[in-house]
Every structure is written in C-alpha cells, then in structure tokens.
With several copies, the nearest count.
Chain A
Amino acid sequence: MVEVSLTVGKLDASLALLLTKDHHLIEFPTILLPDGISAGSIVKINCDRDIEQEIKDKEIFDCIQDEIYNTFGKSLPQAPLLKV
C-alpha cells in the first residue's frame, strides 16, 4: 500500500489540482475528495490493489464473452429432420 500527502492547489468545478511534496501535479476529480476541502487543505491518499475486485471483474467479463459466443458464435442448429 502506498500513502502520500498532497496539498490541494486549486479547486475548479469538477477538477482539483493536487501537489505532491516534490511538485508532482495531479488532476483529481473533486468528487473523490472528502467534504470540507478547500485550496490549501492537505489530504492523505492511500492506494491499494484490489485483487478481489479484479477476480470479480474477470468473472463478469468471462460471462459476457461466453454469452456473446453462445449467442452468435455457434452455427444455428439444423432444423430436425422429421422421419415418417
């Protein structure tokens, strides 16, 4: 997990400019900032990998692939020949 401290530089409608200690500029959606923030505030950001979600996403994606394949990827079954 990575944790960094960022200064809020500018709050502009939907986007905020955050700055790291070594002046890395990050454009960040304000919607992802906590309430009560203003220019000059300091925020902590934690970033963590979400393996669980990755597995879940992969499962969903595989399902969709299967459905596409099953719907369009197989020849239509022959109409059954009726023998008298």
Chain B
Amino acid sequence: MSFVTQGSIPEVLETNANDSLTERTQCLSDIQDLGPPDMVHLIKHNPSTKTEIGTYLYYTGSDVSNSACVAALLHSIADIIGETPQVWFGKHKPWKVQEATYCAYNAFSKLDTRVNVHFPGGVSSSMLDAEGNPVIEKDRYWLETAVSSVVRALISADDDEADFSSIVEIRKINPFPNEETITIFLKGCEDLFFEGPKLGCAPTIQLPTLASNYLVDAFMIAVSITGKYQEGLEILTRLAHKEPSVSYLIAKLHFMSSHEVDGIAALYETSRERPLDSNLLMTQAEFCYEKGRFDLALPVAIRAVNSSPSAFLPWALLVKVYIATGNYEQALLTLNSCPIVTHKDKYHLRRVTIPPTSNLHLPLPVDVTLPEVSSLNSQDVANEHKEVDQTLLNLPAGNLKSTFAIAYGLLTEIVRKTGWEALLKFRAKVFVMEEEYRKEKSESSTTLATNGNVEAANGGSETPKEDYRKKRLCERWLDNLFMLLYEDLRVYTMYRAELVHFTAQQMEFKKSTLEWELLGLVSSRLCHQKEAAEAYNLALSGRFSVRSSKKLLGYYQGEKKRIKRIESGQKKKDEGSMTSEEIAKYKQTLQKKILDLVVKLSIWNHRWYSEFSPMLLDALASMIDDAGVLKVESEIRANYATETNGVFELISDSLEFLKTHHFYRPDE
C-alpha cells in the first residue's frame, strides 16, 4: 500500500448521497456475468462547513476474504483522505470520512457482499440477494466473494478491448501481495471448482464447462504470474481424479513452466482414456504446430474438430494447420465451417451507473512522475483525434471481436502467404460466387417447369454440374470479412507505397501519433508485425501512447522468444538466421526497448490508479531472468529515476512482488 496517496484515489461525487449504493442494489437482479467491479462508498463530512457528501470509487484486487480485511482497507482509505485537506474540485477541503461501505459481488451465489464501517468505530457486514434482501452469511459465501473478486481482477487485467466508455474511477491493486493471498486463492479455486461454470467463460467458447470457464482461466493466470506451478499441478492432479476433463490443464502448466517433456507425457497418458477430449487434442496439436510438425498437428486437429464439431476453437486451429501446410483451399473451406459465436461479449469491468463528467474527481498522483507520460495533455490527444484521417479511423476490421477477430486473423494469415489475387482465385474455386449462383438458379428454374415427369427427370441434366456441386456457399460473415480485408489491404498498400516514396525522396512523412498507431494496427491485423512495430515506434516518437506501447511490448517479447529459438537451434522454417554477434546486439536493443516500455507503462498505470498488470510483471520477470535484477535496477537509476520522481520506488514495488514469489533470490 506504499503508493496510495490522496493523488491516487479517484472519486465520483454523488448527486444525492448513497445513490450509487441504491443503484447497485437495484441492478443486482440483472447481473448475468462476473458482475461489476468492487465498489467503495464514502460519506465525507466537512467539520468547518458542516456539509456532508457521498462519493464512491471502484476497486479490483483487494482481499475480501473476511470483513476484517475489508475494514482495514476502508480504514486506510479514510486515513489517507482525512490526513490533510483534500484538493476537491479546485479547493482544499478538510474532509473526514464518517462512514465507508465496501461492496463485492459474489458471482457464484449471486449475492452482493457489503462491509460497512462507521468511524471511529463499528464494523458490520451483510449479503444481499438479487432482490436486495439480506441472506444469512456463511463461510462459503465469504470464500465465494473473495474468489469472485480475484477472478474479476485477473480476467479484466490488461484489458485490450476496453474502449472510451471504460471506467477510470477505479483503483486496480495486485491481488497477490504475499504468499498467503495466492495460497488462499488457489485453494479457493479447488474448493469452488465444481461451481466454475457459474462464472461464465471466454467469448470464444459457446458454453462454460468444468474444464473451461473464467474460474479456470483465472487459476491459470494466477499460477503463471506467481510461478506457483508446483502448487497448481498438485491441485489439478487432485481435481483430475474427480473430473478427468481438466487433465489438459496439467499439460498446459507443464508447458508454461517449460517442462515440455512432462507436458507431452501427461497428454499421451490421458489421451488413452480420453481419445475424444478436444481440449486435450487441441493442446497437443498446438504443441506440434509450434514445433513445426504440421504432419502430426493435422490429424490431431482433425480429431479435435470431429470430437467437438460445434466448438469454434478446434476449427480455428485446424484452419491454422491447413494454412501452415499450404493447403489454402481446405483452409478456406474449413474457415467457412467455423461455428462463429455471436451471442457473447468478453467480460469487461462496467460501471453500475454512468456519472456526469463534472462529478468525476480524478486527481493526478504526484508521487511518481515522468513528464512525458504523466503530463500527457488529454486535450491535445482529443484534438489529434478530431483531425485524424477518417479513412484510418473507420476501418471496420478494427472493431472485430472474439471469434470474428480470430477468423479474420486466419484470413489475413492466408493473404499474407498467397497475396490478394491468389486468395481471390482460391475463393472462387471453393465457393459458389454470386454470378455463378444466379446462373445456376435461372437454369434450374427453367427446367422446373417440366420436371413434373419422373420419367423425364431421369436424364440427369437437372442436377447441378459436378464442379458446381463440389463448391459450397460462402457464409455471410466470411463474405463480409473478405470485404473488410480488402479495405485493410487497400489502406496498408497505399501506406507502404507512400512510405517507400517519401523515403526514396528523403522527404518527411508526417503523420500524427494516432495516425501512426492506426497504421500500426492495420499492419498488425495483416500479420505484418515488423511493419507494425515500425509504425508504433513512429507513433511513440510523437508522444506517449498506451496502445502503441502495449502493442510494441508484445512485439518485442515475441522477438525475444524468436531470438531464443534461434540461439537454441530450434528456429522455424521462415525465421531468418543471424550471426551470434548480431544476436547479442539485437538482444541488447530489445532489453533496452522493453525496459523503456515497462517503465513508461508502469507510470501510466500508476497515473490511472492501477498497480497491477500481469503483462508488465511478466516482462519484468523475463528481463531479470536474462540480465539479473542488479542490471535492471541500475539501468532504471541511470536512465529514468531521479531522487524525487519516484520511478525507482514504483518499479521496486513490482520487483518486490517478483521477489515475494521467488522469481529471483534477493541476493541475486
């Protein structure tokens, strides 16, 4: 809690005190998913003017496993706010918190757990059902609440799809500040395992099952960011005895902790008993694919499809394998068969009520600052947005979500390999094109008039021609993806041509940060990762941008893996070769770039009251793994930290997390 100051607590002023609690109670019956983020509600009193107001903010990641923990959090918030007069809509106000309420939704039993503290003394708690009526508290409900809260924190962390309507009046803290919290959570997942489907599942999956749902997803993220592989494996092994469908997760944990041999052995063993387990088959096929053994990946992926023909992911994997083997016709046909999931959205943190902008108190934390990031002028960004090239802004492929986005990715992968013209040819070969369809229709409608005679119909001319019959109708959504692809390609091709032209003429190719970023996104969508990175770098040369930074961080992390494969001699067919000197130099560059992004994104997150990002923790852990903690620390000191800007302290907090969870030994 070292970084909580008045500057890092956003609040929303209520028009009428307690409105937000009332609205939260009213919306309980409508909740169909993991529910809204946790909420802290405050009644604040100004002793000098005798006025009283209500405020609230959202929360993720706090420990809500019992009312004492929650009360402690509320006390600390009250203390910070009451410490010194608060800058409140431009004026200093000596607010004292009189009463505070914490709300955390229990998505298992559909209850809202609430802890209320009166200051100086008095703690009470309650649990409300969908109708807002209190139910009798049980230990089980507390466990469910705690697990629900952490699942929300983990599933919503680093949310890339969050849009302009996402919540800013929220504090996101790390749910695993110590060994105890992670142990409780993992144990909680085991205890609640059979209730997992109640939490819903990722939008790529039709229906939650015991083996795939948000509880299981959160479990895997938790194990990964804390490195608790041993504990994770023990839990899954116990669960697999009762519910064999989770066995594939055991293999996944082995792979995540780089124990490939154990993972493969686990899959091999279970496949005897569960030859139709599509999760298991997908894990196996994905592994063979990554190893470049498409000959093995193909039959396994086919079996995954045959075992789960109405699930999307096995089909998508099969398409990927067909693309890798160069069988583009079959890839297109298979893509066309993918059962798109249309009825589901990804889980996002959502407001219970939308506050008027004028009621938002969004202070600037002054304890950690880096001018480039902390002082980014939002008015400038908004102006840039207004003047942006509309063609770039409105590319519809950018709005694709979930299974549509995956299917589009597969289509772009094909076009990257074949080019547009060849793709059109493959398409015309396997799908009935409109022209052809109309022709067939008109022919068959003329024969219709006479085919009453069974005897005459024996001829055979009525059946569609052989090659026509072999074709399929292209699904409407896939047809639409072809249109979007065309638009993306048009913009991308023009951009690359201009870039070449300007470079050749040694002229400056001027674009705003947002425009570069959008060009980066088109390039990413079209699988031109290197070109995308180029555009993101150009975007960041203008000003800081969170989206470009995240995308670039992802790219560099991927590059690091690629380099490692090259070093270990495991490189894939289409990965270039490098001399060991080149490798060493590139690794240094990557390390520098990644550190830069991690520092800036950490500061950005801190500015927006967020202290938890698995993506940044992962990047930091891998940096330490490569270069050691001392090297990382000294580079931060040398390049970013000053005595007063707090940057070193902020990153140290993340390093502390890694140390706690044994990612490195303190003396390393």
Contacts and interface: CB of A to CB of B under 8 A. Distances in A.
A–B proximity contact (CB within 8 A): yes
Interface of A: 7, 9-15, 17, 19, 22-25, 30-31, 33, 35-41, 51, 54-55, 58, 60-61, 64-65, 67-69, 71-75
Nearest to B260: A72
A61 B300 CA distance: 8
Contact of B299 (A9, A39, A61): A61
B447 A10 contact: no
Contacts of B437: 13
A9 B302 CA distance: 11
Given A24-B337, A55-B454, 17 more contacts: A9-B309, A11-B464, A14-B470, A14-B471, A17-B310, A24-B472, A25-B309, A30-B469, A40-B276, A40-B307, A51-B458, A58-B452, A58-B454, A64-B296, A67-B296, A72-B264, A72-B291
Nearest to A57: B454
Interface in B117-161: none
Contact of A35 (B271, B447, B463, B473): B463
Contact of A10 (B309, B333, B472): B309
B483 to A, nearest CB: 20
Interface of B: 260-261, 264-265, 267-268, 271-272, 275-276, 284, 287-288, 291, 293, 296, 299-300, 302-303, 305-310, 318, 330, 333-334, 337, 432, 437, 440, 444, 447-448, 451-452, 454-455, 457-460, 462-464, 468-473
Contact of B454 (A10, A30, A54): A54
Contacts of A36: 457-460, 462-463
Given A13-B440, A68-B268, A38 B470 contact: no
Main secondary structure of the interface of B (DSSP, over half): helix
B275 A61 contact: yes
Nearest to B444: A11
17 contacts: A9-B308, A9-B309, A13-B469, A14-B470, A19-B309, A24-B472, A31-B470, A35-B460, A37-B462, A38-B462, A40-B275, A61-B299, A71-B293, A72-B287, A73-B261, A73-B265, A73-B267
A73 B440 CA distance: 37
A9 B309 CA distance: 6
The 3 closest A-B pairs by CB, nearest first: A38-B462, A9-B309, A73-B264
Nearest to A32: B469
A39 B448 contact: yes
Nearest to A8: B306
Given A30-B464, A30-B469, A23 B299 contact: no
A43 B517 CA distance: 53
A79 to B, nearest CB: 15
A71 B472 CA distance: 38
A9 B318 CA distance: 15
B473 A25 contact: no
B333 A9 contact: no
A68 B420 CA distance: 36
Max chain B C-beta neighbours (<10 A), residue from A13, A22, A35, A36: A13
Contacts of A54: 454, 457
B368 to A, nearest CB: 46
A31 B470 CA distance: 6
Contacts of B444: 11, 38-39
A28 to B, nearest CB: 12
Contacts of B333: 22-23
A33 B469 CA distance: 10
Contacts of A38: 444, 447, 451, 457, 462-463
Contact of B276 (A39, A55, A71): A39
A37 to B, nearest CB: 5
Contacts of B468: 13
Contacts of B455: 55
Given A13-B464, A17-B310, A60-B299, A31 B276 contact: no
Given A11-B444, A36-B458, A68 B296 contact: yes
B251 to A, nearest CB: 11
Contacts of A55: 454-455
Contact of A72 (B261, B310, B470): B261
B437 to A, nearest CB: 6
Contacts of B440: 13
A45 to B, nearest CB: 16
A51 B454 contact: yes
Contacts of B447: 38
Contacts of A51: 454, 458
Nearest to A64: B299
Max chain A C-beta neighbours (<10 A), residue from B260, B267, B300, B463: B463
B400 to A, nearest CB: 23
Contacts of A69: 264-265, 268
Contact of A7 (B306, B432, B458, B471): B306
B473 A40 contact: no
Contact of B337 (A25, A41, A68, A73): A25
A54 B276 CA distance: 13
Contact of B306 (A19, A35, A65): A19
A77 B656 CA distance: 39
A31 B299 CA distance: 24
Contacts of A9: 305-310
A26 B610 CA distance: 50
Contacts of B303: 61
Contacts of A33: 463
A67 B300 CA distance: 12
A7 B300 CA distance: 14
Given A36-B459, A72-B264, A73-B264, A13 B472 contact: yes
Nearest to A73: B264
Contacts of A67: 296
B309 A17 contact: yes
A9 B314 CA distance: 12
A65 B300 CA distance: 9
A61 B265 CA distance: 16
